[in-house]
Amino acid sequence: MTDLLYSVLDTLDEPVLLLDTDRTIVQANVAAQKLLSLKSKTPLQGQSFVRVLRNPEALRCVDEVLAGQKRAHADIQLDTPHRVTMRLMAVALETDSPAVVVSLKDETPLLQAAQMRSDFVANVSHELRSPLTTLSGIIETLQGNAKDDLEAQQRFLKIMQSEAGRMDRLIGDLISLSRVEEEERVRPTESVDLVQIVQIVIRNLKERSESADRGFNLHSESEKCLVVGDPDQLTQVFQNLLENAVKYSKPGGQVSLKIESKKSVPRLNSTVWAVSVSDEGEGIAAEHLPRLTERFYRIDSGRSRAMGGTGLGLAIVKHILSRHRGRLHIASVPGEGVTITALIPAIL
Ligand SMILES: Nc1ncnc2c1ncn2[C@@H]1O[C@H](COP(=O)(O)OP(=O)(O)O)[C@@H](O)[C@H]1O
Ligand SMILES: [Mg+2]
């Protein structure tokens, strides 16, 4: 085995070990050294594979190969320093020293993605099933007990309408989310004025009865605040943020909007327009803040549902901002309210 081959192994991101017929480690590349000798720092070379990995499945693979099998694999769990799932592959060589190549591949991201997909499907099914169950129940009642009760029929029709509306909003948000995700890598091209967008959103909300009692005050540092953006998507961002501010704060409370420019925002390297929406509601406890943009994450799902929420609003907002190379910042003092800020790179 040449030094050149060893240096080639060192260039690989995946940990690779070469073992002898007695399972001694003949050579370990840099990635393997980093992964497996975290605590001890002693070189893996010369150590027994069994003691380094201490995993019966890993040992089984190596032994099968030493017994004449061409290759063997297993998914093993390692605590290095957080738990990861790795696909271990043992392959026979034609020589005795080394006799086996063992490689490891981190499967955690793949498994996490699969888990997220199945959680998402379970959530969507659950969200669709509950209005559907209500509708089926009502239909049965209308065919039976309430057959000739006009008053009950009117009441049930109202519930049916609101449940159908709930399903419709959920499907609408799901379509929005998938569209935004699909376009996330395509940069928008239009030049858009945030002041104008925010004014339109305020006007639309005021026209809808449930926000009629609200005072929205808007302060903008500049008459025009231009960004490169998709006007429909940016409208959706501020609609979601303003609707939340209205829904989750006390009736009659003020909703304040501020647009200002900010330099040197962490992780954004240009000057941005920061549009903040503040309400005077009960606020959000700190432990919820990092999770609010997760799909279907709601602090009080009963309340959110009663308000017509789907739990997807902030997830959509986050994806839209990411498409605009922007960010979302959420701050809250429990008992005093919430300030959610959208940061979007500015055209100056
Ligand atoms: N301004 C706010 N004040 C208090 N809680 C909020 C506010 N905005 C969002 N939230 C919380 O975040 C959750 C997720 O918001 P969102 O994704 O828009 O879903 P939805 O409004 O459909 O429930 C809400 O259910 C609510 O618990
Ligand atoms: Mg919402």
Mean pLDDT, 10 residues at a time, the chain of 348 residues: 85 95 94 81 89 92 95 91 89 90 94 93 94 95 90 94 95 95 93 97 84 84 96 97 91 91 84 96 93 94 86 96 96 94 94
Question: What pLDDT, on a 0 to 100 scale, did the predictor assign at position 274?
Answer: 97
From the alpha carbon of 309, which atom of ligand 1 is closest? 22
Mutate to test the pocket of ligand 1, among 314, 317, 329, 341 (most ligand atoms within 8 A of CB): 314
Distance CA 345, CA 214 (A): 30
Question: What pLDDT, on a 0 to 100 scale, did the predictor assign at position 39?
Answer: 59
Question: What pLDDT, on a 0 to 100 scale, did the predictor assign at position 38?
Answer: 62
Topology of domain 186-348, CATH:
Heat Shock Protein 90 (3.30.565)
Ligand 1 midpoint to CA 248 (Å)? 7
Length of the chain: 348
Nearest C-alpha to atom 19 of ligand 1 is from which residue? 311
Ligand 2 midpoint to CA 92 (Å)? 57
- Its CATH class, for the domain covering 109-183, is mainly alpha
Query: Which ligand has its closest atom nearest to the C-alpha of 311?
Result: 1
Ligand 2 midpoint to CA 125 (Å)? 19
**Contact call for residues 200 and 232 (beta carbons, < 8 A):** no
From the alpha carbon of 293, which atom of ligand 1 is closest? 17
Q: Indicate the domain borders of the chain.
A: 3-106, 109-183, 186-348
Ligand 1 midpoint to CA 154 (Å)? 32
Distance CA 30, CA 37 (A): 10
Mutate to test the pocket of ligand 1, among 124, 242, 304, 332 (most ligand atoms within 8 A of CB): 304
Fold agreement (109-183, 186-348): no
280 DSSP assignment? -
From the alpha carbon of 297, which atom of ligand 1 is closest? 14
Distance CA 255, CA 219 (A): 11
Residue 85 CB contacts under 8 Å (≥ 6 apart), including other chains: 75, 76, 77, 106, 107, 108, 111
**Contact call for residues 44 and 17 (beta carbons, < 8 A):** yes
Question: What pLDDT, on a 0 to 100 scale, did the predictor assign at position 141?
Answer: 93
Question: What pLDDT, on a 0 to 100 scale, did the predictor assign at position 97?
Answer: 83
Report whether CATH 3.10.510.20 matches the domain 3-106.
no
**Residue 10, helix vs strand vs coil:** helix
Distance CA 263, CA 87 (A): 45
